[in-house]
Amino acid sequence: MALRTILEFPDPRLRTRAHPVTRFDADLQRVIDDMLETMYAAPGIGLAATQVDVHRRLIVIDVSADNTEPFIIVNPEILSRDGEIATEEGCLSVPGYYDEVKRAARIRVRAQDRDGNVFERDCEDLLAVCVQHEMDHIDGKLFVDYLSSLKRERVRKKLEKERKERAARSSSPRERRSAL
Ligand code: GNR
Ligand code: NI
């Protein structure tokens, strides 16, 4: 298994609409295992393939307290939605920023598992929120898209500044010495 790099807003690759998974082969199993490892290491409760620059309709989630309930969702569809829930959301692709988003409180999802078997599952509360957040990712959407453009621009500027500072540091003589 291997950790994969998580793309960060405003990286344009996060705006890609992912294609369906068609082959449930060894390559897919490797991506799934890498995504689980990357999600647990982050740590996060979900990760969409788009976030690791794999543009397939593939999501991993684990909302359990002890990281013992990996939930793999391939080619998901929402069959029904009901109720409303407002949650303080975060995103591994928007590090350090949290804000409230309203979503359906309960959804019924049809998807495939890692072997391609079709299943349906009712999701509620944090799991329902997470599935919707991840399904947005594979359509190229981010939670900051639900906020005002003023807030989104503030977040974009802060993250771009941080990214430039990281790049400058990692090319400075001091950083090159400390990396030895
Ligand atoms: O780790 C995550 N926490 C979270 C909290 C509230 C609503 C959604 C999420 S998903 C996020 C991980 C992530 O960015 N997945 O795409
Ligand atoms: Ni996210």
Domain ranges of the chain: 12-147, 148-180
> Torsions phi, psi of 96, nearest 5?
85, 5
Asked if pLDDT for residue 148 goes beyond 70, the answer is yes
Q: Which residues are catalytic?
A: 134
3-state SS assignment for residue 73: strand
Smallest CA-to-CA distance from 71 within 134, 146, 17 is with 134
Q: What is the pTM of this model?
A: 0.96
Atom of ligand 1 nearest to the CA of 45: 1
pLDDT in tens, 64-123: 999 999 999 999 999 999 999 999 999 999 999 999 999 999 999 999 999 999 999 999
Q: Is 50 in the pocket of ligand 1 (CB under 6 A)?
A: no
Q: Which residue puts its alpha carbon closest to atom 11 of ligand 1? A: 91
Structural Rg of the chain based on CA atoms: 17
What fold is seen in the domain 12-147? Peptide Deformylase (3.90.45)
